[in-house]
Amino acid sequence: MIEAKNLNLWYGDFQAIHNINMSIEKNKVTAFIGPSGCGKSTFLRALNRMHEVIEGAKVGGEIIVDGKNIYGSNVDPVNVRHKIGMVFQKPNPFPTMSIYENVAAGLRLNGIRNRKKLDEVVEKCLIQAGLFDEVKDRLNKNAMGLSGGQQQRLCIARTLAVEPSVILMDEPTSALDPISTQKVEELVMELKKKYTIIMVTHNMQQAARVSDYTAFFLLGEMVEFDETETIFTNPRDKRTEDYISGRFG
């Protein structure tokens, strides 16, 4: 579904990622692992052009999504981000909005005003995010009253509302407690039936639990990419083995 071809990315004169080539399968969970500063989050953001919000960022190469280069001259990055949604490390609900309006925000931006349609989509997305039963009696309350784990699932529901085909997750559980982390992991396993999910994680046990494929990044390069079981039990590259076994990182 997604193919990176000779992808390089710079922030000013600093090259953050080097010549990445990979194909990401539809309806699978792909995890990016590696030490801090190795380029995995930068590459994740390049997959929906989110890195462009940083001044001086530039890309060489291609990212093909459903046969089309998202870096083509006639491609609107806003449309790319509708198709390829992002869930960030720290839950970021809109602080002045209710739970309902957080989910409906993207729909309203897309011109949907029909209340019945909004109600249907908000409920559906909250159910998909495993949150509806917890919040159905307080949809008009401020979203900041939710726990951290609930806020993160609300952000996932907000992402689902604009009907992406791909969901990017940048360490989505690193700020959460173990119970909330488990709920998000269970949600990821359920969502992959409908969506393609790409996740950056520092938690190798999490990568082993939820992902079908894993890519190991080091110093801006993708060292190894394979089925998760292979990466964790029989890696080809000694650097991958050293990282997974805790010799560095």
Q: What is the 3-state secondary structure (H, E, C) of 37-71?
A: CCCHHHHHHHCCCHHHHCCCEEEEEEEEECCEECC
The pLDDT tens digits along the chain (249 residues) read 899 999 999 999 999 999 999 999 999 999 999 999 999 999 999 999 999 988 899 999 999 998 999 999 999 998 999 899 999 999 999 999 999 999 999 999 889 999 999 999 999 999 999 999 999 999 999 999 999 999 999 999 999 999 999 999 999 999 899 999 999 999 999 999 999 999 999 999 999 999 999 999 999 999 999 999 999 999 999 999 999 998 877
Q: Dihedral sign for Cα 202, 207, 212, 218, please.
A: positive
Report yes or no: 143 and 98 within 8 Å, Cβ to Cβ: yes
pLDDT at 230: 97
pLDDT at 85: 95
pLDDT at 202: 92
Query: Does CATH number 1.10.1740.10 belong to domain 2-244?
Result: no
- Residues 6 or more apart whose CB falls under 8 angstroms from that of 158 comprise 93, 102, 103, 105, 106, 125
pLDDT at 220: 96
Report yes or no: 249 and 35 within 8 Å, Cβ to Cβ: yes
pLDDT at 8: 97
pLDDT at 53: 86
Report yes or no: 186 and 198 within 8 Å, Cβ to Cβ: no
Give the span between the Cα atoms of 107 and 72, in whole angstroms.
Answer: 26
Give the span between the Cα atoms of 184 and 131, in whole angstroms.
Answer: 11
pLDDT at 1: 84
pLDDT at 93: 96
Write down the domain spans for the chain. 2-244
Q: Pairing relation of β-strands 29-33 and 68-69?
A: unpaired
Q: What is the pTM of this model?
A: 0.93
Q: Pairing relation of β-strands 14-24 and 2-11?
A: antiparallel
